[in-house]
Amino acid sequence: MSEPSHLSGPVTDGPADPEHDATAAYGLDRSYVAGLTRRVVSTTGETHAVASPIGGTPLAHVPQSSPADVAEAFVRARRAQAAWAATPVDHRAATLLRLHDILLDRQDELIDLVVWESGKARKDAYLEVAHVALTARYYARTAHQHLDTQRVGGMFPVLTRAEVHRVPKGVVGIISPWNYPLTMALCDGLPALLAGNAVVAKPDAQTMLTALLAAQLLDEAGFPPELWQVVAGPGPEVGGAIVGHADYICFTGSTATGRKIAQGCADRLIGCSLELGGKNPMLVLRDADVQRAAEGAVRAVFSNAGQLCVSMERLFVADQVYDRFVDAFVSRTRAMTLGASHDWSVDMGSLISQAQLDTVTAHVADAVAKGATVLTGGTHRPELGPFVFEPTILEGVSADMECFGKETFGPVVSLYRFHSEDEAIERANDGQYGLNASVYTRDADRGRAIARRIKCGTVNVNEAYGATFGSLGAPMGGMRESGMGRRQGVEGIHRYTEAQSVATQRLVPIAPMFGMSEETNAKVLTASLRLLNKLGRA
């Protein structure tokens, strides 16, 4: 276990409770928590208590923001953004690179806090640090590629010069979820900062401390202190206020909430990007390496206890390998170590809350009651942690069961046998979602061809989600009800800019000249267009 010296001591503002205070080992001291929570813009005097999924340990009382606080956060952010937008791109990129190194230097502290707040396995928390560092480095190294003024073809060669500038939107509102508290708190905002914007962020109430530490690290890297404002409070109240003030919204969460945010953005005629729900499919083809596919399926389904937007909840396996795959998958799943702790040896950690546990339990109970078979798992394990639920594999799931089409967002997967690849693709495309998919086959070309027929924003061949998620130049996002817009790549930064076209006309106007009539001008223009076409010009 990691045990930084400043992460020890009483957690709460009152006397320590020996039954619920884990501060003797791996706790959070008052001054450390107070230093983080001071970053919240709040004048209400109200606080929200946060406890850990690890034994219910109290973590903090987070100040709550009012709509007036949100308005003030935008005032501060706009003031900082005006100066920041005028700084050279190289300066902004250098600041991101400093953040990259700080993240890696402070990884133990970050991982500890992520585990405390989310209950996830330590190895999953480490991947958050790595992904944010990758994001910072990618955008810093490609800053000029994405943001420099681009020359484009003018109306007439030599006579018309045209160029496109990338102008920052202004202040971006980011509403992030609890499942990846560091990744989601920072990764969408870093390209916004690089593009010259400011950010007002509303992290989820369950994982505020991680997001506040992330904001502190931005300060340490050299970003202006008021450039990144953090607010806290109920989603309908505070989130609505953010939509009411922002120049652009980035949201990750449920499809139902995403619809409301999109409606609010439409009313104000501002843009938004939304990563929403999924019911992600994995296809194991007849020529797949069964052991490799089984290993990949364990990560695909049970990473972060299934609380991952791109995790797999439906596995379609070819007849020819079905029995061998099931044996290997079940065996590997049963061998997993479970727990709610900071130890590196834990393969799968806890669900984050009673609400998530209730959903998972209800989906499994409903499936079993209607005839599904539990091949392994299916049981709540409170002796390991209040919200620990066993990794669960179901067979015989049908359309009348809750887990058939609804997102579980937990460690539960349904297995289906298929006879033909066309059938598998059709079933994978069934439903309203289209976020992520996976194809396992020994023939990579064939896998890529099948991937193009699957209606998902990302498809991984011989990998669950890491290949696309970790390829920062590749855009990531959903089709259909899984969202709109993309993070990562050029689309991940251009969403935070306005394209401004500037064209300069030389020598002659685009109009009749020298007393030429409109009719003659039309003939000259027509002849010019024909000539340019023959010359192969765009």
Residues that are catalytic: 275, 309
Tokens 């609804």 belong to 406
Burial letters 289-315, b for 16+ CB under 10 A, else e: ebeebbebbbbbbbbbbbbbbbbbbbb
DSSP letters, 152-167, are: E--SSTTTEEEEEEEE
Residue 63 CB-half CA count within 13 A: 20
Q: What angle do CA 411, 375, 482 make, to 5 degrees?
A: 35
Q: If residue 376 lies in a helix (H) or strand (E), which one and from where to where?
A: strand 373-376
CA–CA distance, 182 with 125 (Å, rounded to integer)? 9
> Tokens for 313?
């909840």
Residues 80/199, Cβ–Cβ less than 8 Å: no
Residues 117/59, Cβ–Cβ less than 8 Å: yes
> Tokens for 387?
């919200």
Phi and psi at residue 389, in whole multiples of 5°? -130, 135
Measured in residues, the chain has a length of 538
Q: What angle do CA 512, 514, 516 make, to 5 degrees?
A: 50
194: three-class secondary structure by DSSP: helix
Q: What share of the chain is helix, strand, coil (3-state, %, to 5)?
A: 45, 20, 40
Intra-chain end-to-end CA distance of the chain, in Å = 61
Tokens 């202190």 belong to 225
